[in-house]
Structure 1
Amino acid sequence: MNFNFRNFFPFLAWFKLITKDTIKADLIAGLTGAVIVLPQGVAFATIAGLPPEYGLYTAMVTPIIAALFGSSLHLVSGPTTAISIVVFSAISHHAEPGTTEFVSLTLTLTFLAGVYQLAFGLARLGAMVNFVSHTVVIGFTAGAAILIASSQLKHITGIFIPKGESFFHTLIDLYQGVGNTNFYLVTIGLATLITTILIKKFLPKLPNLLIGMIVGSVLALYFKEFTSEIKLVGEIPAHLPPLSMPSFSLETIKMLAPEAFAVALLGLIEAVSISRAVATKSNQRINSNQEFIGQGMSNIFGSFMSSYAGSGSFTRSGLNYASGAKTPLSAIFAAIILMAIVLLIAPLMAYLPIAAMAGVILVVAYNLIDFHHIRETLSFSMEESAVLITTFLATLFLELEFAIYLGVLLSLVLFLSKTSTPSIPTLSLDNVETSGKRKLINIEEKPLKQCPQLKIIRIDMSVYFGSVSHIQKRIATIVENERINHILIVASGINFIDLAGTEALISENNSLVKNGGGLYFVGLKAPVYEFSAKSHFIERIGRANFFDSKSQAIASIYKRLEREICATCPAQIFHECHSQ
């Protein structure tokens, strides 16, 4: 095996793209990203139940490592909404949010999630994300958005809600406590929210979240003379991410391993989905395995630098591309600029009211809901709609980790249900051939005569353990209903055959041979033919039953048909019929 430095240091591949022009473009994009992530980092840490500075630490460390070891030119990693709420859900069962123990367990969770992700990447399991339906991600994200919004209403209304309440009980508490609403807090929250939305709509180039927070802070300063219930975020330490140490006790690892797996899985789905979405615009090819490694490395390294679990951010990645970023250096610049900003203005966060932060989080939560795809899914697909609604409801009313597993399981079930019933159209010839070319057409597209002794079908998907039952039923229907025992399978659509598939086809062939017929194959792809030979499938069926061309197949099979039936056949679709 040849040693390739790029396999271990993928940043060497994009270093050669760096020029003066790209550095300038990346610096501008990085500055924009730093301004955007400042309020987001504080908001996401709040959602995760962590002190606000941990969101900023994550936005400083995670993007650098993920940029160096990932494959996307534009993906920006860091704290995200969905990951934050899963972290809160996982750790709040074991420790009080905001405490030293909560932070310690979160760092351990982050480390374990990173180990899972790195292991998946090294094991080349990047393709597994392909089996998770995008509908699952939409349903989970929409559910998470509503959970996030409901968790912030207590900060905007001033209604007391015990920590750790479920979504259903939170709604009950809000309803019962509506008489205790603090309208000063409501005004601060709504003013922040409305300002954020208006700036986004009319002045999209300005940092709307940051401006919204400033407006909320000014209102809080004015209202503090009228109410004593305005709580502030508190001063954020003006220093770079300090060193930290996850807990490596066996008991803690056992306790957090299941939750860490859910965090790892969600993080990978987010990162790869977002990087692919951006790559479609930038015409870049994404290496899923390398993205797994990049996310794993960033979380492992981050757990030792006071960072909690991060992933790819759709908002910041999309903005990064739209701002003209050329290389992952833009994400690194954003992290470095954020460090400088925090050192300068961190003390000002002490004046930020929690109600204003809640207003910003409501905007973030609303933007998570993909209304366009939800409408499309509910309008056009019953199966996808069922997956969407199930994942959404599971996210609201069940444990978030279970909702993630359920969504992935539903994706696999949906995939298997589709691949287990491959399309098997019947084919026939358009007319009597004179040129020797055999053009087979699906009889559903055009009604054509068929040979009463030879059935020609095409299998449009792989033959594996999940689809063999459907294929066997199709063959049995042909034999029982049409009394045809010679079946030619056009195999150009078969990408692979597994051992269960070969055994099933051999069994069907044996039954047909007993009735004087057989199974025949034409157009097997080279890899499928190679496997068929190695597994003795070709030998057990008979080499004489495999053909390279349709003309060769029909000419050979025609010799095995009963001449008495051919003599009175009204179809006469093969030129061999006329020659006879």
Structure 2
Amino acid sequence: MFAKLGSQFNLQQTVAPAVRFLRRPAVLFRTYDRSNLRPDLTAGLTVTVILLPQAIAFALIAELPPQMGIYSAILGAIVGGLWGSSNQIHTGPTNAISLLVFSSLAAVVAPGSMQFAIAAGVMAVMAGLFQLLMGLFRLGMLVNFVSHSVIVGFASGAGVLIAIKQVSPLLGLSFESHNVAETLVGIAANLSNSHTQTAVIGLGTMLLIVILRRINNRLPAALITMMIASLVVFLLRLDEAGVRVIGQLPTSFPPLADLPLFNLEVISQLSTGALAVAAIGLVETTAIARSVSAQTGQRLDSNQEFVGQGMANIFMGLFSGYPGAGSFSRTAVNFKAGAKSSMAAVFSGIFMIIALFTLAPLAAYLPTAALAGVLIITAYGMVDKGEIARIWRSHPGDASIMVTTLVGTLFLEIEFAVLLGIILSLGLYIWRTSTPRIQPVLPDDTFSHFIYRPEQSPCPQLAIIEVYGDLYFGAVNYVEEFITDYADAHPEQRYLLLRLDHVNTCDFSGIHMLETLVKMYRDQGGDVFMAGTNYRVKQMMLSSEFDSFLGENNILDEDEAIGKIFYQNLDPAICIYECPIRAFRECQNLPKRIDLAGIPLMDEIASEHIMFVEPLHLWQQLHPASSGNGAAANTAVPHVVDVREPREYRQGHIAEAQLIPLPTLLSTDVKLPADKQIVLVCRSGRRSRRAAAALQNIGCMNVQVLQGGMLAWNSAGLLEAVDF
């Protein structure tokens, strides 16, 4: 029963947002502020001025009939505005998507054929369904995993391709080509065959656009030049002289297309291209919407925007159009014209319907060379040289993704290049998250913050390591290897403090890795502490019972961590006698009981010159009769010297050991027996090694060090004496 209720609850959680996403138009009409009507109408009319020539030009990029561009412009603007999230985004045909559509379809169907146009409609529906499902299932966050470098690389490559592709209609050339190289060779070989009147119109269009933009950047330069070019062709009858024109456009509402939507063979052939179109369309639209919302302060809903793009593409495909996406240029115009809501895009679609019935006859004399000139100017603007330079300087990973996508767009199948760029983005994300920044840190000079100080010597007892990333299955091996290598490089640091302030989540693999580190440090006589754990990480530690394994006293408050470890765990004798670093605030008040000048530091001691003795072997030497070892009975009993502090000695020591604290041993003329082997003992062996090195420097060579000190003696289960 409870399982049934749980499944019903999960279904409601999935269905309720889906219904909300689909009811967006009703909410938009119900909450529409009438004071926005005038600015929305003005913005819609302004966008229509550039939308009409763009719709025709972009359809030619895809080598589709001009009316398909107009139909897509009408339906994309209306449906995208009704179901989208952004108040300013304008959906419809775009140059990059048009090029991607052509490249994807050209490998399957012959361009210019009726089947080519039908396939474009099927691709729009397929891409729209993919986008719609992503929105309904609230997968809008997936767009965050596609690098901005993919869009820059693809847009730049697409701009170059569009410009190269439009040179032929610009100059009136005619030759067959299948790729960039063949196109460039064909242009060079046929340049002398350029059609003079066509070339004059095409180059003149480009020049006029540049001049008009210099005069006033707000002028609809593309529309003005196309009208002038049409007028010139009409007055001079250049269409009869060989100048190609668009021809009469149909004056009707977008008709319902007869598409083979259930033909599995067609769907399988178009699936890769449809996926690339859907992915690039979503990433491009989301990037545009975010850039505008950063200026307006609008809170965007990525899932709703996915639904809007999906619905727009479905309608564009069903009603004789082809795929589209959010347009940067039209969105910018819409925003600058004062659009207050998504109804501005809806109004632009309605104005396009009016223009279709009133201006369509004029397109009969619109030369394709003029459209080619407009597209070349537009393509030039697609190559964002400033953004390319920024990415190139920023990070090698982003730069490689941008270059790979750009080169792939030029020389590979475009849909493959796009998907390759997306895969590289995901790969870069996985690489970055699986190799988080992890570094040893120390307090700054004011003891207020922990920072990376590679020039500063670390504390000889405590390692402090900060992790900048999640402890999930993909990253734990990297983190474990870093800490293990660091521990091998600093074997004297038996304690570890992990600062987890920048760790948002930790899965079971992370817990298992932490358990391994704790075991490693504890096997060496040390321990591991953690600070800065957030609520989610603490809950994971609690549910996996790691907190019990680690010990509640080892999960510390960040502000108190160093103090507790310093006073409760670190060996103060090492701090006083050996450590010249004074890394922590707590170290500053420690007395310097001896002048260590001339006494070797730990890293100056050559371990191969120090003789060590294992705890069990020393026990056998001290108790030859009880050991049952005849050879040991004939061996002289060594003289054991404990170099620790009196308080440490009283807490537990080897019964036969003589207490001579390190400062006393090094600062006074202590008489040690010359006829016996001297064994030096301390807590862990550090002070003993320093004492042995110092004694060897003055000629006392009959010295040994108890390996591991009293910690190893206790671990071996050997008896010790206690003074009360």
**TM-score category of the 2 structures, normalised to the smaller one:** over 0.9
1:310–1:561 CA distance, 2 compared to 1 (3 A): same
Q: Give the AA of the match of 1:570.
A: P
Q: Give the AA of the match of 2:487.
A: V
Asked if the contact 2:442–2:453 (Cα under 8 Å) also holds between the matched residues in 1, the reply is no
Q: For residue 72 of structure 1, give the secondary structure of its aligned residue in structure 2.
A: coil
User: Matched residues in 2 for 1:541 and 1:152: separation?
Assistant: 68
User: Matched residues in 1 for 2:238 and 2:364: separation?
Assistant: 18
From 209, 219, 233, the equivalent of 2:232 is 219
Asked if the contact 2:575–2:587 (Cα under 8 Å) also holds between the matched residues in 1, the reply is no
Q: Structure 1 residue 13: deviation in Å? A: 5.2
Q: Give the AA of the match of 2:72.
A: T
Q: Which residue of 1 aligns with 2:502?
A: 493
Matched, 1:453 2:491: no
Asked if the contact 2:209–2:225 (Cα under 8 Å) also holds between the matched residues in 1, the reply is yes
Question: Which runs of 5 or more structure 1 residues have no equivalent in the other structure?
Answer: 433-437
Q: Structure 1 residue 376: deviation in Å? A: 2.2
Matched ranges for 1:310-329 at <5 A:
310-329=324-343
Q: Give the AA of the match of 1:473.
A: E
Moved more, 207-216 or 476-485: 476-485
Q: Could you list the per-position Cα deviations for residues 503-528 of structure 1 after superposition, in whole angstroms to 9, with x for gaps in the alignment?
A: 22222222111111232211111122
User: Matched residues in 2 for 1:133 and 1:399: separation?
Assistant: 20
Matched ranges for 1:27-38 at <5 A:
27-38=41-52
Asked if the contact 2:461–2:570 (Cα under 8 Å) also holds between the matched residues in 1, the reply is yes
TM-score (norm 2): 0.75
Q: Give the AA of the match of 2:179.
A: S
Q: Structure 1 residue 482: deviation in Å? A: 1.6
From 539, 560, 563, the equivalent of 2:569 is 560
Moved more, 506-515 or 308-317: 506-515
> Max radius of gyration: which structure?
2
Matched ranges for 1:101-500 at <5 A:
101-162=115-176, 165-221=178-234, 224=237, 228-247=241-260, 248-430=262-444, 439-444=448-453, 450-483=458-491, 484-500=493-509
Asked if the contact 1:195–1:211 (Cα under 8 Å) also holds between the matched residues in 2, the reply is no
Matched ranges for 1:35-54 at <5 A:
35-54=49-68
Q: For residue 239 of structure 1, give the secondary structure of its aligned residue in structure 2.
A: coil
Matched, 1:546 2:559: no
Moved more, 250-259 or 344-353: 250-259
Moved more, 532-541 or 326-335: 532-541
Matched, 1:517 2:526: yes
Q: Could you list the per-position Cα deviations for residues 343-377 of structure 1 after superposition, in whole angstroms to 9, with x for gaps in the alignment?
A: 11111111111111111111121121112211222
Q: Give the AA of the match of 2:586.
A: H
Q: Structure 1 residue 449: deviation in Å? A: 6.4
TM-score (norm 1): 0.93
Question: Which is bigger in relative contact order (C-alpha 8 A, separation at least 6)?
Answer: 1
Matched, 1:505 2:518: no
Q: Could you list the per-position Cα deviations for residues 35-89 of structure 1 after superposition, in whole angstroms to 9, with x for gaps in the alignment?
A: 1100000001111121100101011111211112211111010011111111111
Q: Structure 1 residue 301: deviation in Å? A: 2.3
Q: For residue 425 of structure 1, give the secondary structure of its aligned residue in structure 2.
A: strand
Moved more, 287-296 or 315-324: 287-296
1:535–1:160 CA distance, 2 compared to 1 (3 A): farther
User: Matched residues in 1 for 2:201 and 2:176: separation?
Assistant: 22
Asked if the contact 1:245–1:303 (Cα under 8 Å) also holds between the matched residues in 2, the reply is no
Moved more, 290-299 or 393-402: 290-299
User: Matched residues in 1 for 2:381 and 2:510: separation?
Assistant: 46
Q: Structure 1 residue 220: deviation in Å? A: 2.9
Q: Give the AA of the match of 1:505.
A: L
1:405–1:558 CA distance, 2 compared to 1 (3 A): farther
Q: Structure 1 residue 394: deviation in Å? A: 0.4
Q: For residue 439 of structure 1, give the secondary structure of its aligned residue in structure 2.
A: coil
Asked if the contact 1:6–1:12 (Cα under 8 Å) also holds between the matched residues in 2, the reply is no
Q: Could you list the per-position Cα deviations for residues 205-262 of structure 1 after superposition, in whole angstroms to 9, with x for gaps in the alignment?
A: 3211111112222333465469732111111001111112321212111221121111
1:221–1:15 CA distance, 2 compared to 1 (3 A): closer
Q: Give the AA of the match of 1:508.
A: L
Q: Which residue of 1 aligns with 2:712?
A: none
Q: For residue 455 of structure 1, give the secondary structure of its aligned residue in structure 2.
A: strand
Q: Structure 1 residue 577: deviation in Å? A: 8.5
Q: Could you list the per-position Cα deviations for residues 244-285 of structure 1 after superposition, in whole angstroms to 9, with x for gaps in the alignment?
A: 232121211122112111111011111101111111111112
Q: Structure 1 residue 553: deviation in Å? A: 5.8
Q: For residue 529 of structure 2, give the secondary structure of its aligned residue in structure 1.
A: strand
Q: For residue 279 of structure 1, give the secondary structure of its aligned residue in structure 2.
A: helix
Q: Give the AA of the match of 2:251.
A: A
Question: Which runs of 5 or more structure 2 residues have no equivalent in the other structure?
Answer: 1-11, 592-724
Aligned length: 573
User: Matched residues in 2 for 1:442 and 1:375: separation?
Assistant: 31
User: Matched residues in 2 for 1:534 and 1:10: separation?
Assistant: 41
Asked if the contact 1:184–1:223 (Cα under 8 Å) also holds between the matched residues in 2, the reply is no
Moved more, 372-381 or 346-355: 372-381
Q: Structure 1 residue 535: deviation in Å? A: 3.5
Q: Structure 1 residue 335: deviation in Å? A: 0.2
> Structure 1 stretches (4+) deviating beyond 6 angstroms?
none
Q: Give the AA of the match of 2:484.
A: A
User: Matched residues in 2 for 1:487 and 1:193: separation?
Assistant: 68
Q: Which residue of 2 aligns with 1:435?
A: none
Matched ranges for 1:559-578 at <5 A:
559-568=568-577, 569-572=579-582, 573=584, 575=586
User: Matched residues in 2 for 1:279 and 1:337: separation?
Assistant: 25
Q: Structure 1 residue 187: deviation in Å? A: 0.6
User: Matched residues in 1 for 2:388 and 2:589: separation?
Assistant: 58
Asked if the contact 2:108–2:269 (Cα under 8 Å) also holds between the matched residues in 1, the reply is no
1:111–1:540 CA distance, 2 compared to 1 (3 A): farther
Q: For residue 244 of structure 1, give the secondary structure of its aligned residue in structure 2.
A: coil
Identity over aligned residues, as a percent? 34
User: Matched residues in 2 for 1:392 and 1:505: separation?
Assistant: 43
1:536–1:48 CA distance, 2 compared to 1 (3 A): farther
Moved more, 44-53 or 405-414: 405-414
Q: Give the AA of the match of 2:415.
A: E
Q: Give the AA of the match of 1:87.
A: V
Q: Structure 1 residue 15: deviation in Å? A: 4.4
Q: For residue 560 of structure 2, give the secondary structure of its aligned residue in structure 1.
A: helix
Q: Give the AA of the match of 1:320.
A: N
User: Matched residues in 2 for 1:565 and 1:460: separation?
Assistant: 31
Q: Structure 1 residue 392: deviation in Å? A: 0.7
1:316–1:226 CA distance, 2 compared to 1 (3 A): closer
Q: Structure 1 residue 578: deviation in Å? A: 5.1
